[in-house]
Structures are given as structure tokens and as C-alpha cells.
Amino acid sequence: MTKLSVNINKIATLRNSRGGDVPNVVQFAKDVQRFGAEGVTIHPRPDERHIRYQDAYDLKPIVFTEYNIEGNPIPKFIDLVLANKPTQVTLVPDAIDAITSNAGWDTIKHKDFLTEVIAEFKRNNIRTSIFLDPVLEQVEGAKETGTDRIELYTEAFAHQYSLGNKEAIKPYTACAELASKIDLGVNAGHDLSLDNIAFFKQNIPELLEVSIGHALISESLYLGIENVIQMYLHKLQ
């Protein structure tokens, strides 16, 4: 079964919009795990516009499932990850002013940098994953960095699927097959939703984990967080 990791950035966004501590990020992380989520994901950015760096420390003692910290490995982020030692660190090449993640790594151009960063995390027993566009050459490049996994960037699939184009899954399937062949684990995330997750899962061999935030939280406004988590778990079976 593919694991569901809930990205709680949007809960932090809502908290920050009003000031104070409502909704409480730590309590929400406790609740999603109690409702069946198999991981908690956060993606702190330098401006701390949603998840704050302190949140990473506050969450560490209460995440008893998989703890996944995503972000661009600038020095401050690297220090944060090493201090908290999550289950997994997912490296994402965010521009500072990006509203959300919008591209995967060029693992060939940035091979030396990624190799160095990944080696440091692995020395600290932290599983590593690289955020990737569904391009075969980039999967091969990821293997050369020493990473444990890749995370397929699924925005293009989600957009095309919403238009009725199911052929958009093909490059993702090909990349997942290659990754499995060369002993890389496969994660996925970005714009996956209740509408498309079952089809995606059915076509991606050995999909280990999906990280879902924006859609899951939005769907929960109508359907309730406990119900939505159960719906995702059912579709991922």
C-alpha cells in the first residue's frame, strides 16, 4: 500500500493569516496521524509565510509516523534538517519568491551540489528524496547523486488529467519503471487529489508514498479531515 503523507503547510497559512495559534499546527499533525495518515510533511520557506522553522522543532516530538521535511537546501534549511533528523528530507529547487514548487531539479547540472548535500544527510541517517520532473535522463542523474528516492512532480499530470488527457500519465509510468530498475524508491506529489489519485496509483509501479496538502485540506473543508484521509487511504490500496 502506498503511504499517505499529509502536507500541513495550509494549516500554518491559515494560522498565520490571523496571528495567534489557531488552528494549532501541532494538534493538527496529531489528529491526521490519529485519523490514519502515515506521514506528516512540512515545507518551510525562508520567509516563513506558512510553516515556520520553529514549527519543525515543535512537530518533531509528536510525529510518530514518517516525518518529511521538504525544501531548498540552503544553509539554514540544511541546519534545520540536521537538527531535527526527520525520517526523510525531500530536496526541492524552490526560488525564494515561488508561490509553490514549480519545477524539479536538473540532476545533471547540479550533480555535484546534490551529491554533497545528500551525503551529509545520509551520514546522519536521514532518507533522501529529490523532487523531479518526469524525465528519464533526470532519473538517471538522480541515481548518480546517491539519493534514496525521487519524488515525481505531478502538476503536469494533474492538469492534463483534469482536461481528460489520460495519456499524460505515460512519462510518469516510464520514470517509475526506470527508477525501480535502478533501485530508486518512488514518491510523488503536487496537485494530486481525490479525483486523480486512484488513476495515478494504478499506473505507477511500486509507488511508495504520496505527499498531499493543498487538495486534501481544500477537500476537507467540505468533507471533513478524518473522512478525507480515509478516502485517500481507500484509493491508495
Which residues belong to the active site? 43, 70, 190
Phi, psi of 189 (to 5 degrees): 180, 155
Rounded CA-CA distance 34/175 in Å is 33
Distance of CA 6 to the CA centre of its chain: 8
DSSP bridge pairs for 128: 89
Cell of 154: 505531478
Q: Taking a C-beta distance cutoff of 8 angstroms, is the pair 142, 117 a contact? A: no
Angle at 152 between CA 229 and CA 184, to 5 degrees: 105
Cell of 23: 488552528
Burial of residue 83 (CB within 10 Å: 0-12, 13-18, 19+) is exposed
Cell of 118: 545528500
State the maximum Cα–Cα separation within the chain, in Å, rounded to a whole number: 49
Rounded CA-CA distance 47/128 in Å is 24
